[in-house]
Amino acid sequence: MYSIRINVGEQKLYVLNDEGDIEREYPVSTSKYGVGNENGSEKTPLGLHRIRDKIGGAMPINMVMIGRQPKGLLQDCIEQGVELPEDVITSRIMWLEGMEPGRNQGGYVDTYNRYIYIHGTSEEDKIGTPASIGCIRMLNRDVIELYRLVDIGTEVLIEE
CATH number, domain of 145, equals 2.40.440.10
Task: For residue 149, give the 3-state DSSP assignment.
Answer: helix
| Cβ-contact 119, 51 below 8 angstroms | no
What element of type H or E holds 19? none
- Amino acid 157: pLDDT: 98
Q: What is the pLDDT along the chain (160 residues), one digit of tens a residue?
A: 899 999 999 999 999 999 999 999 999 999 999 999 999 999 999 999 999 999 999 899 999 999 999 999 999 988 988 888 888 999 999 999 999 999 999 999 999 999 999 999 999 999 999 999 999 999 999 999 999 999 999 999 999 9
| Cβ-contact 10, 22 below 8 angstroms | no
Round to whole Å and give the CA distance between 59 and 134.
24
- Amino acid 104: pLDDT: 97
Task: For residue 77, give the 3-state DSSP assignment.
Answer: helix
CA-based R_g, the chain, Å: 15
- Amino acid 85: pLDDT: 87
Q: Rounded to 5 degrees, what are φ and ψ at 13?
A: -115, 130
| Cβ-contact 138, 25 below 8 angstroms | no
Q: What is the pTM of this model?
A: 0.95
- Amino acid 47: pLDDT: 98
Q: What is the span of the domain harbouring residue 111?
A: 3-159
Per the structure, how many domains does the chain have?
A: 1
